[in-house]
Structure 1
Amino acid sequence: MRPYLLSGLACAACLAAGALLAQEAPRLTGPEPFTRETPAPPMQRQVTDDVRRMRNYPDQPPLIPHAIEGYALDLNANKCLSCHARKFTEQSQAPMISVTHYQDRDGNTLGGVSPRRYSCLACHVPQTGAKPLVPNTFVDMDALVEREPRRR
């Protein structure tokens, strides 16, 4: 067989596999054609019950269980720190930010929040009632451990 014929067959196989996967995957893009403008969907309501949620995996950043609309979070101000900074937690009754937020990348303890941890919304997000865009089969780690038969 000629080499260019083999590469053509391989390319055709890849395209067919890509088409098959594209049919199974849910559509996450906007309208057809992409140049057509459509109104944005309404913003989902935030869960604001102040109930702390269990984390799904170790080291998951906690979700924000309260409204944060209008919070200042820029170079000059961080509204989150007015309640969650160590010196304000007694009066606010908010959980203190982790001690890791007071460390630099080398593990040295700083006098204030590390600049790389200053932008809270880079890791912490509000919880909403939004439905998943794609099916989710996530199973919590503890549930997996409970499913395993005990070995003796």
Structure 2
Amino acid sequence: MNVKQGLGVLLGLAAATVAGVALAMDMTDRMRGAPITETTPPPPLMNSDNSDIRRVRNYAMQPPVIPHKIDNYQLDKNANRCMFCHARTQTQASGAPMISITHYQDRQGNHLAELSPRRYFCTQCHVPQVDLKPLVENRFVDVNELLRAEQQRQRGGASAPQR
């Protein structure tokens, strides 16, 4: 057996080993409850929250969530339905909060008269909400809660929040 044949045998054994390990592993997608090799039907769409109640943000600079339905809103290169209410010229009549002044700035920080093209597609950052059970456990702790726990710890009180 020459070097090339020996290398080929070695590579073949390595590939077989990897394939055997993969077969022995659990290949179930925990969120779907099915093997990753199977296609499953998507869950039904749920109705968005339409309460119009502003939600508290969990961290600094978090984009606010959309507290109303946006079904059938036109949001493409030709029209942005969100600006019918949220543009600075429309907020007095609509009662909707004005979009952040940062949405009227270009990449260099220059102020623009119109919405910046890079901020045009609102649902890149802002999303409607649905009241559902989380798919995975969430142990998120708000920064204010962390700061309160740290202050209590420094005063000799309770320990930091559990994660």
Equivalent residues in 2 for 1:70-81, closer than 5 Å: 70-81=72-83
In structure 1, the partner of 2:35 is 32
Assess, with a 3 A threshold, how the Cα gap between structure 1 residues 145 and 115 changes in structure 2: closer, same or farther. same
Give the match's secondary structure for 2:34.
coil
Q: What is the alpha-carbon distance in structure 2 between the residues aligned to residue 33 and residue 50 of structure 1?
A: 38
CA RMSD for the aligned pairs? Answer: 2.7
Assess, with a 3 A threshold, how the Cα gap between structure 1 residues 50 and 141 changes in structure 2: closer, same or farther. same
Assess, with a 3 A threshold, how the Cα gap between structure 1 residues 33 and 87 changes in structure 2: closer, same or farther. closer
Structure of larger gyration radius: 2
TM-score in terms of structure 1 length: 0.78
Give the match's secondary structure for 1:83.
helix
In structure 1, the partner of 2:111 is 109
- Does 2:136 correspond to 1:134? yes
Q: What is the alpha-carbon distance in structure 1 between the residues aligned to residue 74 and residue 95 of structure 2?
A: 20
Q: Which runs of 5+ in 1 are unaligned?
A: none
TM-score in terms of structure 2 length: 0.73
Contact 1:26 1:134 in 2 (8 A): no
Q: Which runs of 5+ in 2 are unaligned?
A: 1-9, 156-163
- Does 2:124 correspond to 1:122? yes
Identity rate of aligned residues, in percent? 51
